[in-house]
Chain A
Amino acid sequence: MQEVELREALRQAIDEEMTKDDTVFVLGEEVGEYNGAYKVTKGLLDKWKEKRIIDTPISENGFTGLAIGAAMTGLRPIVEFMSFNFSFVAADQIISNACKQYYMSGGRFSVPIVFRGPNGAAAQVSCQHSHCVESIYGNLPGLKVVCPSNAYDAKGLLKSAIRDNNPVLFLENELLYGQKMEIPEEEYLVPIGQAKVIEEGTDVTLISYSRMLTFCLEASKKLKEKNIHVEVIDLRTIKPLDIATVSKSIKKTNRCVLVEEGHIFSGICAEVGFQITENCFDYLDAPVKRVCQKETPLPYSKVLERQSQPTTERILEALNEVLT
């Protein structure tokens, strides 16, 4: 085993896949000479040179479309967005070209491409750098959406994403890059589309993904002191959604709370919650509750930022409601 930061796990995934397949390359802002805005691509330019680690101008629409064209013609690009908020500049390329191409062309052109970078809020980066994009892109048939919460999953899922023949949005989190974890030295993959029970319990199911799991685990710990056992599920992949793992858990616990860093309206919780009613309505002993971001652009002020986002306290409140 090796103890690595999540950013290093991502770097290893990229490096290993680049070694395996010479059509894999990285492009994005500051990925080369600067070693990545968050140092995920540190050292890769030295190793792979300018041909495969490509610094782009600040031109998201252009370089995203370029990468899609490269993917359609036989390469496997990894596009880094310095923040997924900048993917909005390239939304036409992602939505109209990457996600629809395989279907629209009657299966003639696939788009094997990974879009990766930090998603959601960091520490007080304010309204235009804090948006969670998963529910926006989750609404588009043809895209896969992956949200790892730890270094092990991040590495295994990124390797799967690079090998996938479809566009994959790989959503990281700035505040998790430095999180350390022991991961295997040897190669491994984590398949896309599989949720994971990260803490077993019998009384209530708590579902989330990415950074919000930190708060979920804190809430679970607090309830354990009261002898209440929470089953915590990490979705890991938003789309395709592993509703089977979710349903199985709810059929056991009969209660459920969903937590999402992004906005409540039309969010991931709305979707998963609805699928829960479709799949296990008869097993529910209480209405499903959700804890999400309030309906405001995410403000700068530390106080307001915390007020807008899910917290351990808000999660505990929701858990207590479904448990009574």
Chain B
Amino acid sequence: MCAQENITYNFFQTDRKKVLETLGKEKLIEALRKMLLIRNFEVRAESAYQMGKVGGFFHSYIGQEAIQTSCTMALGDKHYYTTTYRCHALALLLGVTPDEVMAELYGKVTGNAKGRGGSMHLYSDRLLGGFGIVGGHVPVATGAGFTLKYKNLNDLISLCFMGDGAVVQGAVHESLNLASLWNLPCLYVIENNQWGMGTAVSRAVCHQPIAENLAKGYGIKGYTIDGMDYLTCYDAFSSFYKEILETKKPILVEALTERFKGHSISDPGLYRSKETLEEAKKKDPIIRFKHDLLENNIITEDEFKEMDKELRNIAVKSMEYAENSPDPDPITLEDDVFAP
């Protein structure tokens, strides 16, 4: 049963040309590099999975790169970040090396969490984790916002990414209520990739647009952004950040996006027609961004290919690093259950 057939969005409007000019060549190329690193990393990591090098669950961020890349580029890495199990990209964006992430996927001691967390649980000083329970991380992110307010760290915010599937979890609603009630500096980003595993969003969420409607109930601002467009996302996140600092209220954002892969690696995506997927791939955020850069003579096709090749090599090298890293010593199994 589908709740709605036609959804009218009020998209966040951006002067893309202006954003492009303001950002300048260096930052634009840096953004492209980051998105290409994520893409190449995910492709190689998936191949490692197929080779039997990676176990457990594996959730690819391919198709959604523009959102977290633009967000971290716009806001920097000093804020608190919290995300779902689809967390390889955010770790890479917050400075975790591809070697460290890949080694974690391989379950090696050199991995980001010493081989204890795996694909769904990656961290940095400011990344509180990939979390494995849908919606369960949203109160935690709200708590990071609480700390920032408690410590009067007024220029920092807590960013929380979640999928469209999380929106119907009670934890999310309780968090939004608390964050609004206590004026916590939180930016909640719903990455609506249209599917909660194999369930279409319209079969799970009773009323869309999600953020625009939901925000009203909590007395906060809600926005919809085109999550496939780097320039719009960059502009939007910069603007939301300023708005949070000014209003001291949290903001709820819905970034419309597409994942080009299944929910996880074991999902062949039979619920989605080939045509729908092909249509989605036309919106590829990297291709779109590349066109923007080509059109504005910021990069050439050859330079793009060269960059792609370089990043592929980095991803391949991370596989070698992971392969050559030692397994955790079984003697350490029971270490670190408790903090000292």
Which stretch (A95-103, A201-209, A249-257, A284-292) binds chain B? A95-103
User: In the bound complex, do residue A103 and residue B136 qualify as a contact, i.e. CB atoms below 8 Å apart?
Assistant: no
Q: How many residues of B contact A (CB 8 A)?
A: 44
Cβ of A68: which chain B residues have Cβ within 8 Å of it?
Answer: 139-140, 143
CA distance A99 to B111 in the complex (A): 21
**291-326 of chain B: CB within 8 A of chain A:** none
CA distance A26 to B132 in the complex (A): 28
**140-157 of chain B: CB within 8 A of chain A:** 140-148, 150-151
Tell me, yes or no, whether B61 is within 8 Å of chain A by CB.
no
User: In the bound complex, do residue B129 and residue A71 qualify as a contact, i.e. CB atoms below 8 Å apart?
Assistant: no
Tell me, yes or no, whether A51 is within 8 Å of chain B by CB.
yes
Cβ of B339: which chain A residues have Cβ within 8 Å of it?
Answer: 102, 107, 110-112, 165-166
User: In the bound complex, do residue B141 and residue A69 qualify as a contact, i.e. CB atoms below 8 Å apart?
Assistant: yes
Known: A65-B138, A69-B143, A69-B144. A109 touches B129 (CB 8 A): yes
Known: A57-B178, A103-B337. A65 touches B171 (CB 8 A): yes
User: In the bound complex, do residue A65 and residue B175 qualify as a contact, i.e. CB atoms below 8 Å apart?
Assistant: yes
Which stretch (B115-123, B229-237, B274-282) binds chain A? B115-123
Q: Select from chain B the residue with minimum beta-carbon distance to A165.
A: B339
Tell me, yes or no, whether B336 is within 8 Å of chain A by CB.
yes
Cβ of B117: which chain A residues have Cβ within 8 Å of it?
Answer: 104-106
Cβ of A64: which chain B residues have Cβ within 8 Å of it?
Answer: 139
Binary interface encoding of chain A residues 245-283 relative to chain B, with 1 for a CB under 8 A from any of its CBs, else 0: 000000000000000000000000000000000000000
Known: A65-B142, A69-B140. A103 touches B171 (CB 8 A): no
User: In the bound complex, do residue A66 and residue B178 qualify as a contact, i.e. CB atoms below 8 Å apart?
Assistant: yes
Binary interface encoding of chain A residues 58-75 relative to chain B, with 1 for a CB under 8 A from any of its CBs, else 0: 010111111111111111
Cβ of B137: which chain A residues have Cβ within 8 Å of it?
Answer: 97
Q: Select from chain B the residue with minimum beta-carbon distance to A110.
A: B339
Known: A65-B139, A109-B123, A166-B339. A70 touches B147 (CB 8 A): yes
Tell me, yes or no, whether A92 is within 8 Å of chain B by CB.
yes
User: In the bound complex, do residue B139 and residue A93 qualify as a contact, i.e. CB atoms below 8 Å apart?
Assistant: yes
User: In the bound complex, do residue B136 and residue A104 qualify as a contact, i.e. CB atoms below 8 Å apart?
Assistant: no
User: In the bound complex, do residue A142 and residue B174 qualify as a contact, i.e. CB atoms below 8 Å apart?
Assistant: no
Tell me, yes or no, whether B170 is within 8 Å of chain A by CB.
yes
Q: How large is the interface on A (under 10, 10 to 19, 20 to 34, 35 or more residues)?
A: 35 or more
Cβ of B177: which chain A residues have Cβ within 8 Å of it?
Answer: 57, 59, 62
Q: Select from chain B the residue with minimum beta-carbon distance to A65.
A: B139
Tell me, yes or no, whether A47 is within 8 Å of chain B by CB.
no
Tell me, yes or no, whether A108 is within 8 Å of chain B by CB.
yes
Cβ of B116: which chain A residues have Cβ within 8 Å of it?
Answer: 103-106
CA distance A96 to B150 in the complex (A): 25
Tell me, yes or no, whether A25 is within 8 Å of chain B by CB.
yes
CA distance A62 to B129 in the complex (A): 18
Cβ of B113: which chain A residues have Cβ within 8 Å of it?
Answer: 104-106, 108
Tell me, yes or no, whether A178 is within 8 Å of chain B by CB.
no
CA distance A15 to B120 in the complex (A): 39
Cβ of A65: which chain B residues have Cβ within 8 Å of it?
Answer: 136, 138-140, 142-143, 171, 174-175
Tell me, yes or no, whether B114 is within 8 Å of chain A by CB.
yes
Q: Which of B82, B112, B131, B337 contacts A106 (CB 8 A)?
A: B112
CA distance A186 to B227 in the complex (A): 60
Q: Select from chain A the residue with minimum beta-carbon distance to B115.
A: A106
Tell me, yes or no, whether B24 is within 8 Å of chain A by CB.
no
CA distance A61 to B336 in the complex (A): 26
Tell me, yes or no, whether A184 is within 8 Å of chain B by CB.
no
Tell me, yes or no, whether B197 is within 8 Å of chain A by CB.
no
**21-45 of chain A: CB within 8 A of chain B:** 25
Interface CB pairs A-B, < 8 A, 27? A59-B174, A59-B177, A61-B139, A61-B171, A62-B178, A65-B171, A65-B175, A66-B178, A68-B140, A69-B147, A70-B150, A71-B143, A72-B143, A74-B147, A97-B136, A97-B137, A102-B338, A103-B336, A104-B113, A104-B116, A104-B117, A106-B336, A109-B128, A109-B129, A110-B339, A144-B338, A165-B338
Binding site for B on A (CB under 8 A): 25, 51, 56-57, 59, 61-75, 92-93, 96-97, 101-112, 141-142, 144, 165-166
4 A-B pairs with the lowest CB-CB distances in the bound complex, closest first:
A69-B143, A65-B139, A62-B174, A110-B339
Given A62-B177, A68-B140, A68-B143, 13 additional A-B pairs, CB 8 A: A65-B143, A65-B175, A66-B175, A69-B145, A69-B158, A72-B144, A101-B129, A104-B113, A105-B116, A106-B117, A110-B339, A112-B339, A165-B338
